[in-house]
Amino acid sequence: MPRIVDHAERRTQIVHALWLVIAQQGIEGVSLRHVAAAAGVSTGRIQHYFGTKEALVLAGCTALVDSAYGGYLETEQAPPRERLLHVVSQQIPRDDAGRAGVSVWYAYVARSINDDAVRQVLAEARRGAEDECARLIRAAGAGSAPPGTAGDPALVQARRLLALADGLTLRVLVGDLDPAEATAMLADEVRAS
């Protein structure tokens, strides 16, 4: 009896192989041949699911964003402040796999300067996260901002928390800040917000 083909699973398998290639060789090192070898499938199958190399690279960026969002949805039952801490601290790399994941994300960030489609995916993801964090801050009945700051306090605080998280992630990635220190700092900020 032929195995029932799970298209979503096959796509995921190829995207994971793509991330592996990006982590090791950068986005410029991506070729259908490399990804096919890493996934253990034919280049024809990759083309069947994703079309061109460019479309595959873009799908990998969208999948990165979707994967973070999926993790967030699992926190639905938690109180707002706990969900907020999840959003801002989930990207802090805690092991080699986390570091590889974040380096793929930075590879896309670097790429965004020459690739409008990638830039748009990253920009929308960041803006979506900001809106969601602002919503959580309001739900927690919080939203303080430094004196003299203009704008919606919850949105300003959301922007501040996310920027802080991105900056601390970078520090942990280059290895001069401990993941536990970064997470503790974010927890302090979430508690104070």
Q: Which parts of this chain interact with a copy of itself (CB under 8 A)? A: 23-29, 99-100, 103-104, 106-107, 109-114, 119, 122-124, 126-127, 146-150, 156, 159-160, 162-168, 170-171, 173-177, 184-185, 188-189, 191-192
Nearer to a copy of itself, 12 or 24 (CB): 24
H, E, C per residue of 125-184: HHHHHHHHHHHHHHHCCCCCCCCCCCCCHHHHHHHHHHHHHHHHHHHHHHCCCCHHHHHH
Q: How far is the CB of 109 from a copy of itself (least distance, A)?
A: 5
Closest to a copy of itself by CB, 6 vs 131, is 131
Backbone angles phi, psi at 79, to 5 degrees: -65, 155
Q: Which of 106, 131, 90, 87 is nearest to 26 (CA)?
A: 106
User: Shortest gap between Cβ of 39 and a copy of itself (angstroms)?
Assistant: 20
* Nearest residue to 143 (alpha-carbon basis) of 131, 156, 130: 156
Smallest gap from residue 69 Cβ to a copy of itself (A): 17
Identity of the residue, 40 or 146, whose beta carbon is nearer to a copy of itself in the bound complex: 146
CB of 114 to a copy of itself, least distance (A): 7
